């Protein structure tokens, strides 16, 4: 949901910003823009559409030369995608200086601020909430920090005042969520950024700082990063002489971090855990396909060090200190949105089945505002790939406030949700760039299975049972590989139905949430209308939809409800529906009922979802490709939804 990238250093900034925006484009792609601080003032380029359009504009603008700049790729919230609404937005201070701002988030009190700023003479040119921020910083901006601060030995980086002070003052007036980067033409070596609620990472490069919404735009420049907590501001300076930190040298860099009330805070610098290769497409045409195909390796990484078959033990270091709470828990609330919510729905089955504890999955957005009852012994598990989803974060905070122990099942290391939980388990499936979540889902399901076994083993499950699940889990990456070899065949199957505009996905038990996920995948990237539901629910109404040739995907693997699923398949066939079955390898019987069969290896029921979802991911992928759609950037969507 919008990506920002900003740089201050000694390199020409425009190409560097474009490269960063391309890496962040999956976060939003309806318009883009950048502002570069040049000797002639702030130069702005903005365009509607993809970053490549902006790149072409930027390449033809010779004036776009400088070493300080900010850039943005947008996913519209306030105002249609247009050049005027694209970021950066500008403000004009009374001291005659120009301020440029890029922003990811939502300013909730923007209407009141806009009225106030209009009364004070500011003119607005866009429909965005962000423009309010630009004017607000300008309103508080009194010019660069006094020369005496720098002369007194502290240098600009240490001296207070100027842009940093104006940003702090502006943010004290703001309600809402923001990650911002701000520049002024009067401070050509200073970049100020801040965050509350929306993600922001600061990379410490050689002679430079690079700021971005996520690490993918930073990794090409440095692995050394720090993050800001909510309500914190970083002032980043890189300049050619003693303007920066009071020492003489060909090029100096210095930063300081404060709260918006100007209280100094220290930030810990850490190393990024992934490399550039992980975020490049390599031989694949789309990130979604790359990430689908990466799943065997991703799950190997997810399981690494977590299985101790000899001791029949699940090793989850992050949960050890809360093991007693987990065993005594009266109820688990699994919360997330979209695909992460579907993983939570699978965990309902896993936790009740393997850990014998009541578990309910809740849409974070609904849970948060329902005045939820959190009894003693409730544990909330926030599930999130990005660790930045605003709804999930809000639900987590609400649950914590009401006394629940809060755990995280998160992919993005160091993300806000990961930091806000009492403890958790990382997925370790590597960065997910494709807008449609695939490997993160299988990682979430795997981690939740490990958690259920971690608790179950301490309650009712015998060592023998735990050991056999662990052995099966160890085999999962190989099973996943086998399913993926059918990609082409799945593409063939899809080609027979791809023009149909309505699909159903049906499953029972553990495979019911997989049906939900299959439908979500198909609709989000191929724009085909699809519904997922329990196979038995179909005859309570939705069966009316079935007409001749309507594709109905059944997850019909062998297990406790196999016979019942076969009956449901009969009901569909009797009404002319075209049955596509995901079935267990070697199941000859199912071929009598289905027009097409996709096979998965036989595994115990609790482990089936991580396998049965793969064919559905491939169905969605091939459908989108065959319809000529942009798989990695589906319309209206963005990867990380950081607004409620
Ligand atoms: C669907 C999808 C979304 C996300 C949801 C939560 O493919 O990607 O439904 O699953 O927005 O995102 P995270 O997991 O980042 O909290």
Report pLDDT digits (tens) over 84-97.
Answer: 999 999 999 999 99
Average pLDDT of the chain to the nearest whole number = 93
Q: Is residue 639 over pLDDT 80?
A: no
Q: Write down the pLDDT at residue 342.
A: 98
Q: Is residue 44 over pLDDT 90?
A: yes
Predicted confidence band of residue 242 (pLDDT cuts 50, 70, 90): low
The answer to whether 2-271 and 486-630 have equal CATH topology is no
Q: Write down the pLDDT at residue 64.
A: 92
Q: N- to C-terminal Cα distance for the chain?
A: 11
Residue nearest to atom 8 of ligand 1 (CA): 437
Q: Is the CB of 640 under 6 A from ligand 1?
A: yes
Mutation choice for ligand 1 from 385, 522, 635, 644, CB with most ligand atoms inside 8 A: 385
**What is the percentage of the chain residues whose pLDDT exceeds 90?**
83
Q: Is the CB of 389 under 6 A from ligand 1?
A: yes
Domains of the chain, by residue range, sit at 2-271, 276-478, 486-630
Q: Is the CB of 338 under 6 A from ligand 1?
A: yes
Tokens of 288: 């979604």
**What is the percentage of the chain residues whose pLDDT exceeds 70?**
96
Write out pLDDT tens, residues 470-510: 999 999 999 999 999 999 999 999 999 999 999 999 999 99
Q: Is the CB of 340 under 6 A from ligand 1?
A: yes
Q: Write down the pLDDT at residue 198.
A: 87
Instruction: Characterize 568-594 residue by residue with b for buried, 16 or more Cβ atoms within 10 angstroms of its Cβ, and e for exposed.
Output: bbebbbeeebbbbbbbbeebeebeebb
Residue nearest to atom 7 of ligand 1 (CA): 436
Calculate how far, in angstroms, residue 638's C-alpha sits from the geometric centre of ligand 1. Answer: 9
Instruction: Give domain 2-271's CATH number out of 3.60.20.10, 3.30.420.40, 3.40.1280.10, 3.90.1150.10.
Output: 3.60.20.10
Specify the pairing of strand 529-534 against strand 98-107.
unpaired
Contact 89/56 with Cβ under 8 angstroms? no
Phi and psi angles of residue 584, each rounded to the nearest 5 degrees, phi first: -75, 140
Atom of ligand 1 nearest to the CA of 435: 8
Mutation choice for ligand 1 from 75, 416, 445, 641, CB with most ligand atoms inside 8 A: 641
Mean of pLDDT values over 224-248 = 81
Q: Write down the pLDDT at residue 517.
A: 98
Write out pLDDT tens, residues 222-233: 999 999 999 999
Residue nearest to atom 16 of ligand 1 (CA): 384
Distance CA(535)–CA(164), nearest Å, equals 58
Tokens of 334: 């699994």
Q: Write down the pLDDT at residue 149.
A: 53
Annotated active-site positions, please? 2, 639
Q: Is residue 153 over pLDDT 50?
A: no
HEC sequence for 420-449 = HCCEEEECCCCCCCCCCCCHHHHHHHHHHH
Q: Write down the pLDDT at residue 158.
A: 57
Largest Cα separation within the chain, whole Å, is: 87
Q: Is residue 299 over pLDDT 90?
A: yes
Distance CA(106)–CA(516), nearest Å, equals 30
Closest among 278, 459, 436 to 355, alpha carbons compared: 459
Calculate how far, in angstroms, residue 291's C-alpha sits from the geometric centre of ligand 1. Answer: 15
Calculate how far, in angstroms, residue 403's C-alpha sits from the geometric centre of ligand 1. Answer: 26
Calculate how far, in angstroms, residue 435's C-alpha sits from the geometric centre of ligand 1. Answer: 8
Instruction: Domain 486-630: give its CATH superfamily.
Output: Glucose-6-phosphate isomerase like protein; domain 1 (3.40.50.10490)
Inter-CA distances, 526 with 49, 455, 522, Å: 20, 39, 6
Q: Write down the pLDDT at residue 157.
A: 57
Least confident of 21-30, 108-117, 193-202, 499-508: 21-30
Predicted confidence band of residue 636 (pLDDT cuts 50, 70, 90): confident
Calculate how far, in angstroms, residue 269's C-alpha sits from the geometric centre of ligand 1. Answer: 28
Calculate how far, in angstroms, residue 467's C-alpha sits from the geometric centre of ligand 1. Answer: 32
Least confident of 39-48, 331-340, 632-641: 632-641
Residue nearest to atom 3 of ligand 1 (CA): 338
Atom of ligand 1 nearest to the CA of 389: 16
Distance CA(600)–CA(558), nearest Å, equals 10
Distance CA(285)–CA(473), nearest Å, equals 30
pTM given for the model: 0.85
Least confident of 111-120, 134-143, 230-239, 267-276: 267-276
Distance CA(69)–CA(42), nearest Å, equals 9
Count of other CB atoms within 10 angstroms of residue 558: 18
Calculate how far, in angstroms, residue 604's C-alpha sits from the geometric centre of ligand 1. Answer: 27
**Alpha carbon 115 to its chain's center:** 34
Contact 6/194 with Cβ under 8 angstroms? no
Class of the domain covering 276-478 = alpha beta
Least confident of 29-38, 307-316, 635-644: 635-644
Q: Write down the pLDDT at residue 414.
A: 83
Q: Is the CB of 392 under 6 A from ligand 1?
A: yes
Q: Is residue 151 over pLDDT 50?
A: no
Instruction: Characterize 29-41 residue by residue with b for buried, 16 or more Cβ atoms within 10 angstroms of its Cβ, and e for exposed.
Output: bbbbbbbbbbeee
Q: Is the CB of 416 under 6 A from ligand 1?
A: no
Predicted confidence band of residue 244 (pLDDT cuts 50, 70, 90): low
């Amino acid at each position: 949901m919008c990506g920002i990238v900003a740089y201050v250093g000694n390199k020409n900034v425009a190409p560097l910003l474009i490269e960063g925006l391309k890496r962040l484009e999956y976060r939003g792609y309806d318009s883009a823009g950048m502002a570069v601080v040049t000797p002639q003032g702030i130069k702005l380029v903005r365009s509607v559409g993809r970053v490549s359009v902006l790149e072409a504009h930027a390449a033809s603008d010779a004036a776009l030369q400088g070493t300080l700049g900010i850039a943005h790729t947008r996913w519209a919230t306030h105002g249609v995608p247009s050049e005027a609404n694209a970021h950066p937005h500008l403000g004009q201070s009374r001291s005659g200086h120009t301020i440029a701002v890029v922003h990811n988030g939502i300013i909730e009190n923007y209407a009141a601020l806009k009225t106030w700023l209009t009364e004070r003479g500011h003119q607005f040119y866009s429909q965005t909430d962000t423009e309010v921020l630009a004017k607000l910083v300008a309103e508080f901006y009194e010019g660069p920090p006094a020369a005496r601060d720098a002369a007194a030995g502290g240098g600009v980086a240490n001296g207070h005042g100027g842009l940093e002070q104006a940003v702090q003052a502006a943010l004290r007036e703001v309600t809402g969520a923001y990650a911002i980067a701000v520049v002024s033409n009067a401070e050509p070596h200073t970049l100020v950024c801040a965050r509350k609620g929306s993600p922001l990472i600061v990379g410490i490069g050689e002679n430079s700082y690079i700021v971005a919404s996520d690490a993918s735009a930073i990794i090409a420049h440095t692995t050394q990063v720090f993050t800001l907590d909510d309500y914190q501001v970083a002032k980043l300076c890189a300049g050619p002489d003693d303007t920066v930190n009071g020492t003489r040298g060909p090029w100096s860099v210095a930063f300081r971090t404060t709260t918006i009330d100007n209280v100094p805070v220290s930030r810990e610098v850490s190393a990024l855990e992934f490399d550039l290769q992980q975020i490049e497409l390599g031989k694949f045409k789309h990130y979604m396909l790359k990430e689908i195909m990466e799943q065997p390796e991703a799950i190997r990484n997810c399981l690494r060090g977590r299985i101790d078959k000899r001791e029949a033990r699940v090793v989850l270091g992050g949960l050890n200190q809360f093991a007693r709470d987990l065993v005594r828990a009266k109820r688990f609330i699994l919360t997330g949105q979209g695909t992460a919510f579907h993983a939570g729905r699978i965990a309902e089955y896993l936790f009740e089945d393997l850990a014998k504890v009541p578990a309910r999955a809740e849409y974070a957005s609904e849970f948060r505002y329902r005045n939820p009852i959190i009894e003693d012994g409730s544990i909330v598990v926030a599930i999130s790939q990005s660790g930045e989803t605003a709804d999930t974060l809000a639900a987590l905070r609400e649950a914590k406030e009401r006394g629940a122990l809060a755990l995280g099942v998160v992919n993005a290391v160091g993300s806000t949700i990961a930091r806000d939980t009492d403890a958790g388990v990382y997925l370790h499936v590597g960065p997910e760039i494709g807008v449609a979540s695939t490997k993160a889902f299988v990682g979430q399901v795997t981690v939740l299975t490990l958690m259920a076994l971690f608790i179950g083993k301490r309650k009712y499950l015998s060592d023998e049972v735990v050991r056999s699940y662990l052995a099966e889990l160890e085999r999962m990456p190989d099973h996943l590989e086998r399913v993926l070899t059918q990609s082409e065949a799945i593409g063939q199957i899809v080609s027979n139905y791809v023009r149909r505009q309505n699909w159903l996905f049906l499953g029972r038990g553990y495979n019911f949430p997989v049906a939900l996920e299959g439908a979500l995948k198909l609709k989000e990237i191929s724009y085909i209308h699809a519904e997922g539901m329990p196979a038995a629910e179909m005859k309570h109404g939705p069966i009316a939809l079935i007409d001749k040739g309507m594709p109905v995907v059944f997850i019909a693997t062998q297990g406790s409800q196999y016979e019942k699923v076969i009956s449901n398949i009969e009901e569909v066939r009797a009404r002319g529906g075209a049955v596509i079955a995901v079935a267990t390898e070697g199941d000859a019987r199912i071929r009598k009922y289905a027009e097409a069969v996709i096979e998965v290896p036989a595994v115990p029921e609790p482990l089936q979802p991580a396998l049965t979802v793969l064919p559905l991911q491939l169905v969605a992928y091939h459908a989108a490709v065959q319809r000529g759609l942009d798989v990695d950037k589906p319309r209206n969507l963005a990867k990380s939804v950081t607004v409620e």
